[in-house]
Amino acid sequence: MAYWKPITELGEAHLVKEGSTLAEVTEDIVKVTENPAPRGWWILFGIAMSLVGIFTFCVGYLFYRGVGVWGNTAPVYWAWDITNFVWWVGIGHAGTLISAILFIFRQKWRTAINRFAEAMTIFAVICALIFPGIHVGRPWLLYYVFPFPNQMTLWPNFKSPLLWDVFAVGTYFTVSLLFWYTGLIPDLATLRDRSLTKWRQRIYGFFALGWRGSNRHWRNYERAYLILAAISTPLVLSVHSVVSMDFATSVIPGWHTTIFPPYFVAGAIFSGFAMVETVLLIARSVFKLQRVVMMRHLELMNKFILLTSLLVGYAYAMEFFMAWYSGNPYEMAHFLHNRPTGPYWWAWLWMVIPNCVVPQLYWFKRCRTSIPLMFVVSILVNIGMWFERFVIIVSSLNRDFLPSSWGIFRPTIIDVGTFVGTIGVFFTLFLLFMRWLPMVSMTEVKATMPQADPHYGHGEEKHEEPHDPDHVPDAAVAGGLVPGGAE
């Protein structure tokens, strides 16, 4: 058995359409950046830019009038701003999962989607960072959160989870950017070497840093990539854990829960996969990438969505169980009454049905492989996960210990505009990325193809030494179990 051949008995298949050449992969991916943008791209870009206009107006008005333009008021002082922040950070997590965790587990199929997912991480974290930035009321004093000598000679309080969050999300953004750029370097060199115009050659060449595919460089490069993947894995788990501690370390019923860190991480990956899928399905049809982004990849993503949906469903159930089991009247009042039957019961249903019920469709192969269905499900999951954060934040705050201080939160048009606006910011950045950068990692896709195996298609019997124990590890590596290879 040759190592470059998929083990069909295990359900493996070729990751790129069988018989594709290396040059075809380059051509498919690079031509997106070389050809004029298709009409679909311009339509989407126009819509996204319009939303950016709304965003700019809403944030400008917020800075002019202050945070009173939002619906936040006693007792709900955190509302859509933090809901949106947590939602966007969570979306970013799938990108790191795909690029780092699946890399460490040698999941070769990730090569079709990892660049995408990493870009999504970066843009989602940009959108997330906007909200803590603008919700402080006096955004020009935001530098107080950094350990920066300010005019009060006062340092930040390092015991505060909100400050942990600054470091966690800041580190997450920086590491994601470094990881993404490192992965881009060989592909930027491909763009440089194919350039037909001087300007393309200069710009891509500048960012390709003079990469020349040297094996002496690949050796350090692959090690850097492996280390980045290895450190991103605990990082991504820490980021949403720290985000959850913003809530879990408080005493509010509904927030004061030890299950929060893993529950938030599972939810983050769940919503992130849904968002990758939404964006990928659009890009796949607009740019006709069926050769690289195959049904097989989409089906695997749907399996992930099903798995994380079950994890999230378990966490919801466990929150209820613990509230009842604790016998704490405030916990019971919150979980057993306020959430399902309180003023936000409809938001609770929007959380439970799309997150726990709808993904159960993916038990069926026919559903996992239906493009229209998965598009709808991915959007429903995005909505459901937004409502999960809304339920956690708003419905926990609106009724706390004293009934006399209960209240109702109503969003304003500026709340809506700011949130919808960040979706525009996200898609604008994404569309620019798809237009100007290779949206699939050519290097990694090529490395998973049969041609990448030095044993491919020639004298198999000569290289086949199944009884030589020393030969097996090398051959296993040569079989491309390693996307991009390790040592």
- Please report, as residue ranges, which positions from 226 to 265 form the binding site for another protein (by CB under 8 A): 227-228, 231-232, 234-235, 238, 242, 245
Residue-by-residue DSSP string for 108-120: GGGGGTHHHHHHH
> CA-based Rg of the chain, rounded to a whole angstrom?
24
Closest residue by Cα to residue 244 from 211, 224, 267, 275: 267
Tell me the closest approach of the beta carbon of residue 355 to another protein, in angstroms: 27
> Is the distance from CB of 295 to CB of 360 less than 8 angstroms?
no
Nearer to another protein, 11 or 459 (CB): 459
Does 182 bind another protein (CB under 8 A)? Our answer is yes
Nearer to another protein, 246 or 388 (CB): 246
Contact range with another protein by CB under 8 A, out of 36-44, 180-188, 359-367, 389-397: 180-188
How many whole angstroms separate alpha carbon 378 and alpha carbon 412? 27
Does 98 bind another protein (CB under 8 A)? Our answer is no
Tell me the two tokens of residue 337. Answer: 């009454």
Return the residues of window 18-37 that contact another protein according to CB under 8 A: 21-23, 26
Does 422 bind another protein (CB under 8 A)? Our answer is no
Closest residue by Cα to residue 115 from 444, 477, 351: 444
Chain Cα centroid distance, residue 449: 26
Of 18, 34, 468, 474, which lies in the binding site for another protein, with binding defined by CB under 8 A?
Answer: 474
Return the SS3 of 425.
helix
Tell me the closest approach of the beta carbon of residue 256 to another protein, in angstroms: 15
Nearer to another protein, 414 or 482 (CB): 482
How many whole angstroms separate alpha carbon 208 and alpha carbon 453? 26
Nearer to another protein, 24 or 299 (CB): 24
> Is the distance from CB of 209 to CB of 182 less than 8 angstroms?
no
Measure the N-to-C terminal CA separation of the chain; round to a whole number of Å.
23
Of 458, 461, 466, 469, which lies in the binding site for another protein, with binding defined by CB under 8 A?
Answer: 458
One-letter amino acid identity for 54? I
Per DSSP, 337 falls in state I
* Per rule CB under 8 A, count of chain residues that contact another protein: 80
Length of the chain as a residue count: 487
Tell me the closest approach of the beta carbon of residue 446 to another protein, in angstroms: 5
The site map against another protein for 141-160 (x = CB under 8 A) is ------x-----xxxxxxxx
Chain Cα centroid distance, residue 158: 28
Tell me the closest approach of the beta carbon of residue 7 to another protein, in angstroms: 18
Return the residues of window 262-291 that contact another protein according to CB under 8 A: none
How many whole angstroms separate alpha carbon 247 and alpha carbon 242? 9
Strand ranges (E), 250-387 = none
Residue 318, judged by CB atoms within 10 A of its CB (0-12, 13-18, 19+), counts as middle
Does 203 bind another protein (CB under 8 A)? Our answer is no
Contact range with another protein by CB under 8 A, out of 39-47, 79-87, 291-299, 452-460: 452-460
Nearer to another protein, 193 or 299 (CB): 193
Tell me the closest approach of the beta carbon of residue 320 to another protein, in angstroms: 28
Of 71, 272, 417, 480, which lies in the binding site for another protein, with binding defined by CB under 8 A?
Answer: 480
How many whole angstroms separate alpha carbon 477 and alpha carbon 484? 10
One-letter amino acid identity for 22? L
Nearer to another protein, 195 or 369 (CB): 195
One-letter amino acid identity for 126? I
Tell me the closest approach of the beta carbon of residue 105 to another protein, in angstroms: 18
Of 9, 461, 470, 487, which lies in the binding site for another protein, with binding defined by CB under 8 A?
Answer: 487
Does 200 bind another protein (CB under 8 A)? Our answer is no
> Is the distance from CB of 89 to CB of 128 less than 8 angstroms?
yes
For residue 134, the surrounding DSSP H or E stretch is helix 114-134
Return the SS3 of 234.
helix
How many whole angstroms separate alpha carbon 172 and alpha carbon 90? 12
Tell me the closest approach of the beta carbon of residue 243 to another protein, in angstroms: 11
Contact range with another protein by CB under 8 A, out of 64-72, 218-226, 306-314, 394-402: 218-226
Q: Which residues face 76 on adjacent strands?
A: 73
Of 212, 372, 466, 470, which lies in the binding site for another protein, with binding defined by CB under 8 A?
Answer: 212
Contact range with another protein by CB under 8 A, out of 50-58, 182-190, 409-417, 426-434: 182-190
Q: In sequence order, what are the residues at sequence separation of 6 or more whose Cβ sits closer than 8 angstroms to the Cβ of residue 419?
A: 80, 84
Tell me the two tokens of residue 2. Answer: 């040759």
Does 163 bind another protein (CB under 8 A)? Our answer is yes
How many whole angstroms separate alpha carbon 292 and alpha carbon 289? 6
Of 178, 317, 336, 371, which lies in the binding site for another protein, with binding defined by CB under 8 A?
Answer: 178
Tell me the closest approach of the beta carbon of residue 377 to another protein, in angstroms: 34
Of 55, 88, 109, 221, which lies in the binding site for another protein, with binding defined by CB under 8 A?
Answer: 221
Tell me the closest approach of the beta carbon of residue 219 to another protein, in angstroms: 5
Of 95, 421, 438, 484, which lies in the binding site for another protein, with binding defined by CB under 8 A?
Answer: 484
Return the residues of window 344-363 that contact another protein according to CB under 8 A: none
One-letter amino acid identity for 258? T
